[in-house]
Every structure is written in C-alpha cells, then in structure tokens.
Amino acid sequence: MPLPEITDSFTGSVNRITLGATKENGGTRTNTVTIGGARNVVYGGSFEDASEKPVIAMDVLDTRPRDWPDALVQAYDDVMDSPGDWAKKCVEEFGAELICIKFDGIHPDKDDKDADHAVKVTEEVLKSVGVPLILWGSRNDEKDNQVMPKVSGAAKGEKCLIGTISEINYKSLTAIAMADGHYLISEAPIDINIAKQVNILASDMGFPLERIVTFQATGALGYGIEYAYSIQERQRLAALTGDKMMAMPAICDVGYESWRAKEAKLEDAPGWGSIADRGPMWEATTAVCLLQAGVDIIRMRHPRSVAVVKNFINKVWS
C-alpha cells in the first residue's frame, strides 16, 4: 500500500540560500550550492513544496587527526598532511558538494596552531577545489576570536559558510561574516529556544536572517539521535508555520558524532561484525535519519557512507 500523501498547506517556508561565489559574482568558485526552500515536511505536499536537494559537506581537517580510527584514516592516509589534496580527493573521487575545513589544529589543547597556519590552509583549499567552503572553528571561544577573523578575511568574497556562533560568543564572528560577505552558522545545544535566541542576537547586530544556517548539536545513532531528530523536526515545523526567526536551513555534524560511537570504532568486539563496515554504516544510518527530519547540509567523513547517503538523496529528491 502506498504511503498517504501529506497535503496540509503551510504559511511559511525555509529560507533559500546560495553558497559560494563564482567569478561573475566576485569569487573564485567554479560552482555554487543552493539549499533550503522547503514549503512542507519531507515527503509532504507536492514536488514543488520540496526543498532544494540536501547536500553533503565532507570534512577536511587543518592538521592530521590523531584520534581517528584506522577504518577512517585508511580512506585519506595519503593526503592527510595536505589539506588541499585532501579536499581535492573528497571532491573529485568522492563527490563532495561542499568542503568543510575543520580547524581542530588551532585548539589550545591540540596543536595550538596560529592564525598564519589557518590562513595558509584556507588559501590552499580555495586553490585546490572549486566548490563552496564551510569554515568551522575549533570551538574554543578565545582562540576562535583570534584566528577566525583572519580566516574569514582570507576567503573574503567567496560567500563561505562560517561558524559557529553561540549566545555567549557571537559578536566577533557575526561582525566579520557581515564585513566579508559570508554566511553564518548559529549553534544551539539541542534547544529550539536557544537556537531562536542566537538568531535574534545576530539579527540585532544587523546580520540578515537570510544568511544564517542553524546548527543544533547532533546526536548520532544510539547517542541521542531521537533528540536530534525531534529538534530538527520542530525547527522545520516552526519555519513552515511562519516563524521568521526559525526559517533557516539546517546543518548537522554527522561525521564527527558517528565516529565517536564505540560501535563504529571498537576493534575488540566479537559478534559486532567487521569494523571496516560498522563505522560507515553508523554514519550513513545517522545521516539518512536526520535527512528525513529536514536537514539541508550533512557533514560527513567516510566515502562509503557518503556514497550510500548520496544514493538516498537522489532517490528521495529526484
């Protein structure tokens, strides 16, 4: 029996955002990516009510990660010391539509790299690939406030997605994103009220709501997926019912959260199946679940997971 069609109409919609700037628009990207635009829930309404096709952003770290399991390292071991080559591999071999540079190396508790390092990595990736970029800080507020303004400036005019801002630490990054023409990621800890408050704070500084993407802390399969799904669903419904402060597309950090799960990386686990399969399956399952809640950008890591999720997206949003 076919699924019943959800035909309820809504008064609102999710903002439509185009990331990246081509030469004609003052940038150097070879293509742009448009997200958002939904006027109904996933699977609901007519084809015209559907969002733009969700996209996959693949992670590229600014320094070689020390805590990745072998099953994940093997896919990138030959390029992990060169962010530019790493990004190129993600785009040309694995089909990444966006590249997310994750600046783990600037964190004081990791490699404590400086702004010059971060700028060099940004420029290297910009030269290596033509897709739009996401510039994601270390999540250490003090260090990000020192480094991310320089990163933003290095990519000025490219219409990158930069973040994240929180209700505690939002002023610096909001100001530089506005000055450099970027889009902004607003973060909340799986809390719709805090998400709305962060958007209000950015808006009060004069930042356009139409240039914000929301990020709720992501829960992986078995580690809070039900909370993450619920908050994404509530966020989508708020947008569809006309709440302008919640009408932003959404991004989820599926790769990082999925590969933290012991089921994805624990080697000594008799009966759990091949470790080469478990991690990619955990990541792909988490991504597919959240896509059905209305997420627009999925950050991912393993190429096998990416292939599975791209296939799912192409079938649902064809």
Contact 210, 15 (CB under 8 A): yes
Q: 176-228 pLDDT, tens per residue?
A: 999 999 999 999 999 999 999 999 999 999 999 999 999 999 999 988 899 99
Q: The tokens of 138 are what? A: 């270390």
Q: Tens digits of per-residue pLDDT, 44-94? A: 888 888 899 999 999 999 999 999 999 999 999 999 999 999 999 999 999
Which residue type sits at 89? K
Q: Which of 172-176, 231-235, 270-274 has the lowest mean pLDDT?
A: 270-274
- The 10s digit of each residue's pLDDT in 141-151 is 999 999 999 99
Cα torsion angle, 179, 182, 188, 194, sign:
positive
Please name which of 11, 14, 7 lies closest in space to residue 239, comparing C-alpha atoms. Answer: 14
16, 35 contact by CB (below 8 A): yes
Quick one: pLDDT band at residue 300, thresholds 50, 70, 90?
very high
- Which range is least confidently modeled, 67-71, 100-104, 129-133, 183-187? 67-71
| Average pLDDT rounded to a whole number, residues 33-42 | 95
pLDDT tens per residue across span 308-317: 999 999 999 9
Q: Using an 8 Å Cβ cutoff, are 23 and 82 in contact?
A: no
DSSP 46: -
Does residue 274 have a pLDDT over 90? no
For 303, the token pair is 């190429």
**Centroid of chain to Cα 44:** 24
- Mean pLDDT within 159-188: 97
Q: How far apart are CA 303 and CA 112, in angstroms?
A: 29
For residue 163, list its beta bridge partners. 136, 185
Contacts 24+ apart (CB under 8 A), 34-37: 35/213, 35/249, 35/296, 35/297, 36/248, 36/249, 36/296, 37/13
Q: What is the CATH number of domain 16-316?
A: 3.20.20.20
The single-letter code of the amino acid at 152 is S
Q: Would you state the pLDDT for residue 8?
A: 66
Q: Where are the domains of the chain?
A: 16-316
> Token pair of 6, please?
């959800």
Token pair 């693949």 is at which residue? 58
Residue corresponding to tokens 């930042």: 207
- Please report the sign of the dihedral spanned by the C-alpha atoms of residue 56, residue 57, residue 59, residue 60: positive
Contact by Cβ (8 Å): 209, 248: yes
Tell me how far apart the alpha carbons of residues 80 and 132 are, in angstroms, rounded to a whole number.
20
Question: How confident is the model over 233-250, as pLDDT tens digits?
Answer: 999 999 999 999 999 999
* Encoded tokens for 272: 């759990």
SS3 state at 318? coil
Q: Residue 237's Cα: distance from chain center in Å? A: 20
